[in-house]
Amino acid sequence: MARKASLSGFPEWLPAERLVELHVLDTLRRTFELHGFSNLETRAVETVGQLLRKGEIDKEVYGLSRLQDAAASAQDPSALALHFDLTVPFARYVVENAGHLAFPFRRYQIQKVWRGERPQDGRFREFTQADIDVVGDGRLPFRYDVELALVIAEALEALPIGPFTVRVNNRKLAEGFYLGLGLEDTAGVLRSIDKLEKIGAAKVKELLASELGATSEQADAALALAAIRTEDASFVERVRALGVEHPLLDEGLAELAEVLQAASRRAPGRVVADLSIARGLDYYTGTVYETVLTGHEQLGSICSGGRYESLASKGSRTFPGVGLSIGVSRLVSRLLADGSVAASREVPTAVLVALANDDSWSDAQDVAAALRSRGIPVEVAASAEKFGKQIKYADRRGIPYVWFTGAGGSHEVKDIRSGDQVPADPATWMPPAADLNPRVEAVDAG
């Protein structure tokens, strides 16, 4: 655990650690499919032009070039580079394949992404994201914003990560409020409010005055809005009590209330309205989500997203969407670092078929085939070493059962944890369900 990656920023797991990651990925996949999301993968490579469309992030992009060629550069939009998230490639995919997709289109996508962060930052340069999005053709009912909050709460609830909070806000609510206050540069106000956690209310107030010309009253009202946090739709009254009026504010309040009404019923305590959430990316146009693990708030958001009205477009045709992205590597590295979750064994194998002598290998394969036909993962010993050595092979890997075949074809299976050994029939024997496959579970802190 906590071994140092041999290339800084590129984590690799040991087999038992990979089982934890696989458990997380399988659980997410299962939840997403139960909710009707189709799986997709996009290529890892985009053109530089596609990746830099939104500007500003070129420092983090890894360009690709064959070793004898010149480097990919930001000046050559046809150069190739690795994607840094799954949203930009998905938007490109939707536009390219619109004629083949049924809208609203629901997809999940679990892939690695790369960012050329400086190694000394201690950040990941390769990591896995799990994204879900619903995308419409021209329009997308607001109800999907409600649904995605519920899906993500259910997906995270199914993971062995402990309590978490999905914090939801709405850009329309915030922008309408600022406009109602008379602050026209709503993006500027959002940028300042976004720094609340980092620099505190007093500094944000200074920023609002110096950079946006806000009066003390305007700044106080913006900060009062950002201080509102409720587990149900009661935030509406508290915003109303601030006495600000604007049609966009009304729209935002109604939308966020709809999310909270559904969530407080279906995922009580997991979803809160948090009116300080701004999210940096400016393509969000309504609902915004972020998620923190209780007690691990310093980890930052492990799952973020929102509604975007025009991330993708094709001529005059636009594809609005709402989506969320889970930072799987960040989550898994936290689980592994604090040892809060572990696999019950490090190999898939439930049974090792031992060899009494070197000629019995083929018979042992018959036993193994019979067991595998019922879904039991089995290995056959490679050579007829002393039984003690064969049992040690199983023990070192956490394989719970060793199978022995006697002369005359009698069969016995030994639970090497308890030492119990009983007669068994290869055609019918099953291990207890808990031993069939490795289990990944929360470890008691004790």
Q: By CB under 8 A, what part of segment 380-439 binds a copy of itself?
A: 380, 382-383, 396-397, 437
Residues 344, 429: Cα–Cα separation, whole Å? 21
291 and 164 Cβ atoms separated by less than 8 Å: yes
User: By CB neighbour count within 10 A (0-12 exposed, 13-18 middle, 19+ buried), where does 1 fall?
Assistant: exposed
**Contact letters for a copy of itself, residues 281-300 (x by CB under 8 A):** --------------------
User: β-pairing, 229-230 with 287-293?
Assistant: unpaired
Which of 27, 47, 318, 421 lies at the binding interface for a copy of itself (CB under 8 A)?
A: 47
Closest CA to 221 of 203, 251, 197, 201: 201
Output 154 or 220, the one with its CB closest to a copy of itself: 154
Q: Can you tell me which of 53, 77, 87, 144 binds a copy of itself, judged by CB under 8 A?
A: 144
How many C-alpha atoms does 387 have within 13 Å on its Cβ side?
A: 9
Among 20, 24, 27, 43, binds a copy of itself (CB under 8 A): 43
Under rule CB under 8 A, residue 143 binds a copy of itself: yes
- Per-position x/- string for 198-217, each x denoting binding to a copy of itself as judged by CB under 8 A, each - no binding: --------------------
What does the block give as tokens for 371? 């067991």
Question: Please, what is the minimum distance in Å from the beta carbon of residue 377 to a copy of itself?
Answer: 5
Structure token pair of residue 221: 């009202």
Q: Which is nearer to a copy of itself, 103 or 283 (CB)?
A: 103
> Strands of 229-230's sheet, edge to edge?
38-39, 105-114, 126-135, 317-327, 303-314, 287-293, 164-170, 271-274, 229-230
Give dist(CA 234, CA 237) in Å, integer.
Answer: 6
Residues in the chain: 446
Q: Which alpha helices (DSSP H) does 244-344 contain, by range?
A: 247-266, 328-337
Place of tokens 């000394």: 120
In the list 88, 149, 150, 214, the residue contacting a copy of itself (rule: CB under 8 A) is 150
Per CB under 8 A, the list member of 311, 376, 391, 402 interacting with a copy of itself is 376
What string marks each residue from 165 to 204 as x (binds a copy of itself by CB under 8 A) or -? ----------------------------------------
Q: Measured from the CB of residue 110, what is the shortest distance to a copy of itself in angstroms?
A: 11
Task: Of 262, 170, 294, give the one whose Cα is nearest residue 225.
Answer: 170
**Using rule CB under 8 A, residue 378 touches a copy of itself:** yes
∠ CA(242), CA(284), CA(28), 5° rounding? 110
* Residue list 17-36, contact with a copy of itself (CB under 8 A): 18-19, 22, 33-36
Size of the site for a copy of itself (CB under 8 A): 91
Of residues 225-254, which lie at the interface with a copy of itself (CB under 8 A)?
A: none
Interface residue with a copy of itself among 24, 40, 292, 326 (CB under 8 A) is 40
Does 265 bind a copy of itself (CB under 8 A)? Our answer is yes
Least distance in angstroms from the C-beta of 29 to a copy of itself: 9
- Segment contacting a copy of itself by CB under 8 A, of 195-203, 275-283, 342-350, 417-425: 342-350
Burial zone of 271 (CB within 10 Å; 0-12 exposed, 13-18 middle, 19+ buried): buried
3 state SS of 437: coil
Pick 72 or 212: Cβ nearer a copy of itself:
72
Residues 50-109 that bind a copy of itself (CB under 8 A): 58-74, 80-82, 92-93, 96-97, 100-102, 104, 106-107
